[in-house]
Chains A and B, each alone.
Chain A
Amino acid sequence: MNRKAVTAVVLTALVVVLAAAAGGAGQAGPRYRVFASNEYGGTVSVIDPEKDEVIATIRVSNRPGDVRPRGLGVSPDGKTVYVALSDFAPQVESDEDGIVAIDVATARVVGKFRVGSDPERLAVSPDGRQLWAANEDAAQATGFDIRTGEVLGSFPSGIEPEGVAVSPDGRWVYVTGEVSHTVTVIDARELRVVKHVMVGARPRIVIFSRDGKRAYVSAEIGGTVSVIDPSRHQVIHTVRLGTNTRLVGLALTPDGKRLFAAAGGTNSVFVIDTQSLDVIKEIRERMGRRPWGIAVTPDGKKVYTANGLSDSVSVIDTSTLTVVKNISTGRGTHDVVVGIVP
Chain B
Amino acid sequence: MSDSSLTRRRLLCRVGAAAGALVAGSRLKRLSMSASQPLTARAATSQPLRIGVVVPSRTGLTPVRAASQQVAGQAALQGAIMAGEELGQVAGMLDKQLEVLVSSAPTAEAAKRAAERLVDLEGVFALVGGFDVATCQALSGVADEAEVPFLNIGCASDALRGASCRRFTFHFEASAAMYLDALADWFVREGIRQWFFVTAATDEGRALLARGRYALERRHWGGKEAGSAEVREDEPEFGRALDAIARARPDLVVLLLGAVAQLDFLGQYEAAGLSYPVTGFPEAVAQTRTFFAAARNTAPRAGAGHRAVLWEASLDDYGGRELNARYRERWGMPMDPSAWAAWEAVKILWEAASFAGTTDGRALVQYLEAPDTTFDVHKGIGVSFRPWDHQLRQTLYLVKVNDRAESAWDLATLAGELPETHRPGFSPNEMLDQIGDLANRSQCHFGSGSSGR
Residues of A near any B CB (own CB < 8 A)? 88, 90-91, 136-140, 153-156, 158-160, 177-182, 184, 191-193, 196, 198, 201-202, 220-223, 242-244, 246, 265-267, 289, 309
Q: A222-B374, A243-B374 are in contact. Are A192 and B4 (CB under 8 A)?
A: yes
Chain A residue at smallest Cβ distance from B426: A244
Residues of B contacting A223 in the complex (Cβ-Cβ under 8 angstroms): 382
Contacts of A265 in B (CB 8 A): 424
- C-alpha gap A245/B65 in the complex (Å): 47
- B420 interface contact, C-beta 8 A: no
Contact partner, A155, options B3, B351, B425, Cβ 8 Å: B3
Q: Does B375 contact A (CB under 8 A)?
A: yes
Question: Is there a chain A Cβ closer than 8 Å to B450's Cβ?
Answer: no
A156 & B3 in contact (Cβ 8 Å cutoff): yes
Smallest CB-CB separation from A267: which chain B residue? B424
| Complex partner residue of B94 from A192, A196, A201, CB under 8 angstroms | A196
6 tightest Cβ-Cβ pairs between the two chains A and B: A90-B325, A196-B93, A153-B4, A221-B376, A193-B3, A180-B90
In the bound complex, CA of A154 to CA of B325 (Å)? 21
Q: How far is the CA of A68 from the CA of B87 in the complex (A)?
A: 28
Contact B8 A138 (CB under 8 A): yes
B contacts, CB < 8 Å to A: 1-4, 6-8, 11, 86-87, 89-90, 93-94, 319, 321-323, 325-326, 328-329, 347, 351, 354-355, 372, 374-376, 378, 380-382, 422, 424-428
Beta-carbon contact of B376 and A140 below 8 Å = no
Cβ of A155: which chain B residues have Cβ within 8 Å of it?
3-4
22 A-B pairs with C-beta separation under 8 A: A88-B321, A90-B322, A90-B325, A91-B325, A91-B328, A153-B4, A154-B4, A156-B4, A177-B90, A178-B376, A179-B378, A180-B90, A198-B354, A201-B376, A202-B376, A243-B372, A243-B374, A243-B382, A243-B427, A244-B428, A266-B424, A289-B424
A156 and B351: CB pair below 8 A?
no
Smallest CB separation, A158 vs chain B (Å): 6
Tell whether, in the assembled complex, residue B93 and residue A184 are in contact, meaning their CB atoms are under 8 Å apart. Answer: yes
Q: Which of B3, B323, B382, B422 contacts A221 (CB 8 A)?
A: B382
Are A178 and B319 in touch, CB under 8 angstroms? yes
Chain A residues contacting B427 (CB-CB under 8 Å) are: 242-244
Measured in the bound complex, the distance between the Cα atoms of B326 and A158 in whole Å is 14
State the Cβ distance, B88 to closest chain A Cβ, in Å.
11
| Bound Cα distance A177, B94 (Å) | 13
Question: A180 — which chain B residues lie within 8 A by C-beta?
Answer: 87, 90, 93
Q: Is the CB of B329 within 8 A of A156?
A: no
With A137-B325, A160-B319, A182-B93: A201-B375 Cβ-Cβ less than 8 Å: yes
How far does the alpha carbon of A266 sit from the alpha carbon of B376 in the complex, in Å? 18
Contact present for B94 and A198 (CB under 8 Å): yes
**Residue from B87, B321, B354 having most chain A Cβ neighbours under 10 A:** B321
Partner of A201, one of B1, B86, B93, B374: B374
- Provide the bound-state CA to CA distance between A294 and B302, in Å: 49
Complex: A140 Cα to B374 Cα, angstroms: 26
Q: Which residues of A contact B3 (CB under 8 A)?
A: 155-156, 192-193
